[in-house]
């Protein structure tokens, strides 16, 4: 009896990181910082944060994606001209206007980048149809007492060309176990394809219903048992990977706005005392919200609403669709895109997930107007506005977050502002507000935020990238 080689038998991928984030030390540091931001009661003083540490201007066109390394020592950005740049996070402790430490131009627009869990390897996809896997060879590791900037070499490990019929990879994501190290990607031909990264051979292909729209984003669970796909017509599709079978397809009843991002929620999280598996989604409703879905039932459980959202239960009513891949739904096929419909789309533009020092997950989202919010899923009142809250002169600049249980299965977390008429204190209040607004304008993005990440080294930061090529670094 013979067994196929595991990923560990391929030395070019390197060894697993023993402790990706030095979690125990990081949690102690994060908890200490958390206490410094709270009073003796443990309640955060205000719901506003977002010190702009710096701006990075090396990209000359739209930055399409950003991804952090597993240990948060590095992050990578990719732009519309095909340039990928590697940045070292330790530099932000003393200077957030530094330069990237490595760059490569792949000759075609970057569509997606993803890091391999527990290894210094990442994959990048381009509109030219290439998928490349690189390894970072790092010399000069920082230690706990003295910062040492690293020297990094990029080595190409694997190269794959997407079939001409499938065009290119829209979104890519690693799904790694030692016996089944996979790279999954979606295509404009409505396929989800899984590659074995050891050989770069196709393991399986899932053909999504063509009438459901183009699958622009997806999330795979850690055990490689299911995948949730989001499409350009606002449909979420749940597939069983073991049997390669579509289990369910749903959408909001009254809208067909595109799903822009689907992220797996990790950490200690439960809804109504049920610890199921959840994904966070932006898009679908046409509002600047984030919805949290129970994967087992493919139903929304939480709606995170910015102040601009009209939060009514009718918007988030879900319609079950027939999962037969041979069925063509004429309602979808006859959908016509017009300018008014596009302009009405207020969907959030970027989403990321992270885990706090207490092991609980939180989300960070960006709206089309440049507002960036950190959502605390376990304690909603501790959610924070990072940037972008001063667009309305009739309200205070500091929001309040509250949770409302709508029914047994759905709750809303709302961002609310108090009217200035309730709290104004003469002309001084308005003068202070005008000064604050000027300061905030300087900190905001001037174009749409395309993507963002949370970093926890050397301290907690949110790094966001926009359509004009600017990278903003905020201390959160």
Query: Which residues of 72-109 form beta strands (DSSP E)?
Result: 74-79, 83-88, 102-105
Q: In what order do the strands lie in the sheet with 411-416?
A: 259-265, 278-283, 289-294, 299-305, 411-416, 400-405
Q: What is the CATH superfamily name and number for domain 7-20+53-345+449-475?
A: YVTN repeat-like/Quinoprotein amine dehydrogenase (2.130.10.10)
To which residue do tokens 């002169």 refer? 393
- The pLDDT tens digits of the residues spanning 260-271 come to 999 999 887 877
- Kindly indicate the confidence band of residue 41, based on its pLDDT and cuts at 50, 70 and 90: very low
What SS3 state is found at 35? helix
Pairing status of strand 299-305 against strand 411-416:
parallel
Tell which residue, 136, 124, 118, 113, has the closest CA to residue 67.
113
- The pLDDT tens digits of the residues spanning 331-357 come to 555 455 555 666 678 999 999 999 988
What pTM does this model have?
0.87
Residues counted in the chain: 476
Q: Which helix (H) or strand (E) holds 372?
A: strand 372-376
Q: What letter would DSSP give residue 460?
A: -
Beta bridge partners of 412: 303, 404
**List of residues 6+ apart from 18 with CB closer than 8 A:** none
- Kindly indicate the confidence band of residue 313, based on its pLDDT and cuts at 50, 70 and 90: confident
Beta bridge partners of 152: 138
Phi, psi of 382 (to 5 degrees): -95, 10
- The pLDDT tens digits of the residues spanning 240-283 come to 999 999 999 999 988 889 999 999 998 878 777 777 899 999 99
**pLDDT computed for residue 433 by the predictor:** 54
DSSP secondary structure letters along 42-95 = S-BSSSB--EEEEEE---SS-EEEEEE-TTSSEEEEEETTSEEEEEEGGGGGT-
What SS3 state is found at 429? helix
């Amino acid at each position: 009896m013979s067994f196929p080689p595991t990923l560990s038998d391929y030395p070019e991928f390197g060894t697993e990181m023993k402790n990706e984030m030095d979690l125990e030390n990081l949690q102690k540091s994060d908890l200490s910082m958390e206490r410094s931001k709270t009073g003796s009661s443990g309640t955060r003083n205000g719901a506003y944060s977002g010190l702009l540490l710096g701006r990075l201007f090396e990209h000359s066109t739209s930055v399409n994606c950003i991804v952090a390394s597993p240990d948060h020592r590095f992050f990578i950005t990719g732009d519309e001209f095909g340039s990928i740049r590697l940045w070292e996070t330790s530099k932000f402790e003393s200077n957030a206007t530094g330069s990237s430490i490595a760059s490569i131009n792949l000759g075609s627009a970057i569509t997606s980048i993803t890091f391999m869990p527990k290894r210094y390897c990442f994959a990048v996809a381009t509109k030219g149809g290439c998928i490349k896997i690189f390894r970072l060879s790092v010399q000069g590791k920082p230690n706990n007492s003295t910062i040492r900037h690293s020297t990094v070499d990029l080595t190409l490990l694997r190269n794959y060309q997407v079939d001409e019929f499938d065009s290119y990879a829209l979104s890519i994501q690693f799904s790694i176990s030692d016996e089944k190290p996979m790279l999954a990607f979606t295509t404009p031909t409505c396929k989800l394809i899984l590659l074995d990264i050891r050989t770069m051979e196709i393991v399986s292909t899932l053909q999504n219903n063509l009438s459901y729209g183009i699958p622009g984003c997806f999330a795979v669970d850690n055990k490689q048992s299911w995948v949730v796909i989001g499409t350009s017509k606002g449909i979420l599709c749940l597939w069983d990977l073991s049997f390669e079978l579509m289990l369910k397809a749903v959408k909001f009843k009254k809208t067909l706005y595109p799903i822009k991002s689907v992220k797996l929620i990790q950490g200690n999280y439960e809804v109504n005392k049920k610890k199921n598996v959840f994904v966070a989604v932006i898009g679908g409703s046409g509002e600047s919200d984030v919805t949290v879905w129970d994967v087992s039932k493919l139903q929304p459980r939480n709606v995170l609403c910015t102040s601009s959202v009209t939060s009514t239960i009718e918007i988030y009513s879900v319609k079950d669709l027939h999962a037969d891949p041979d069925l063509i739904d004429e309602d979808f096929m006859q959908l016509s895109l017009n300018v008014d419909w596009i302009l009405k789309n207020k969907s959030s533009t970027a989403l990321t997930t992270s885990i706090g020092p207490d092991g609980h997950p939180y989300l960070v989202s960006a709206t089309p107007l440049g507002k960036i919010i950190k959502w605390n899923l376990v304690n909603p009142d501790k959610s924070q506005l990072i940037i972008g809250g001063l667009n309305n002169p009739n309200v205070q600049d500091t929001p309040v977050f509250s949770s409302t249980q709508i029914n047994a299965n759905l709750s809303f977390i709302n961002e609310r502002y108090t009217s200035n008429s309730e709290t104004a204190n003469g002309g001084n209040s308005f003068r202070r507000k005008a000064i604050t607004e000027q300061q905030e304008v300087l900190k905001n993005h001037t174009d749409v935020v395309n993507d963002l990440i949370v970093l926890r080294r050397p301290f907690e930061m949110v790094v966001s990238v926009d359509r004009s090529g600017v990278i903003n670094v905020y201390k959160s």
